[in-house]
Amino acid sequence: MSAILERITESNRVIRGYTDQKPDIAIILGTGLGKLAEDIKNSVVIPYEKIKNFPVSTVPGHGGNLVIGQLGEKSVIAMQGRFHYYEGYSMQEITFPLRVMKELGAKVIIISNAAGGMNRFFHRGDLMLIYDHINLMGDNPLIGPNEEKMGPRFPDMSQPYDKELILLTEKIALEDGIRLHKGIYAGLTGPMLETPAEYRMLIKIGADAVGMSTVPEVIAANHMGMRVLGISCITDLAIDGIVEKVHFQEILDAAARSEPIMTHLIKKVIQNIDI
Ligand code: HPA
């Protein structure tokens, strides 16, 4: 067995010691979805540090958990706490939990994030369905030896975000009166925000929103043939390239205000996904 498959098997052995539930849907609880974990019933909570081979958090008390249980009628596995490239993790480390969740049975991955909005129709606190992305991180999780059992050497990326899940989410948003944009997410490393010239460049190359996460996980998910749904919470604006000073607390406040709507939308999507 290859080293990566062995590492996944070792992690799964630990998780199987806690539960034999087989989750169908994985959720990365990024900004705007943090509280969704509270709605998972019959849940088993496994701290990352207990799971062999999982990335170890550098911040004490911020280790994160895998939460496995039921959301409505669906079996889910949620990552409470994610890893960012700017924290110093490698792309392979960031995407390792996703590979473990796939091996446990997950066929769909739902990802949320906070992003800066550049499209002139956006307002702070709006939600944006991601229908495509631009990887500007200068790295990706598939560099290195390829494990054919996980996915192909040269994976197709012609539909990185699942069309049916996009349609389902749009339908629910329309029914429930939720303002939902659709756009292209540019993924940069951060941790600094963008300069005015960088925002202008991102607008010119066709991005609607910009953030520091999601792209590695979506690449790994596509590699493994998982269906992806990605949603950004627009926490600040750089429209027409006009950049106002962003205070990180304002980003957190905007995300917190959107959280109930994002949570409602995603819960309803999960209930209605055909697995
Ligand atoms: N740029 C990058 N990442 C972000 C932003 C932004 O403007 N807002 C929230 N995350």
| CA 204/CA 189 separation, integer angstroms | 19
Q: Work out the pLDDT band at 63, boundaries 50, 70, 90.
A: low
Whose CA is closest to 219, among 152, 274, 266, 163? 152
Per-residue pLDDT of 81-116, as tens digits, reads 899 999 999 999 999 999 999 999 999 999 999 999
Q: How far is the CA of 51 from the centre of ligand 1 (A)?
A: 31
| Among protein residues, the one whose CA lies closest to atom 10 of ligand 1 | 115
CA of residue 210 to ligand 1 center, whole Å: 6
* Domain 3-272 coded CATH 3.40.50.1580: yes
State the pairing for strand pair 108-117/227-237.
parallel
What's the average model confidence in pLDDT over 214-232? Answer: 98
User: Does the Cβ of 114 fall within 6 Å of ligand 1?
Assistant: yes
* Any atom of ligand 1 within 6 Å of the Cβ of 255: no
Q: How far apart, in whole angstroms, are the C-alpha atoms of residue 227 and residue 62?
A: 28
pTM for this predicted structure: 0.96
Judge residue 9's burial from the number of C-beta atoms within 10 Å of its C-beta, 0-12 exposed, 13-18 middle, 19 or more buried: middle
Kindly report the protein residue whose alpha carbon is nearest to atom 2 of ligand 1: 211
Q: What is the pLDDT of residues 49-59, one digit of tens each?
A: 999 999 987 66
State in Å: Cα 193 to ligand 1 middle: 6
CA of 119 to the centre of ligand 1 (A): 13
Tell me how far apart the alpha carbons of residues 217 and 137 are, in angstroms, rounded to a whole number: 12
Helix (H, G, I), strand (E, B) or coil at 260: helix
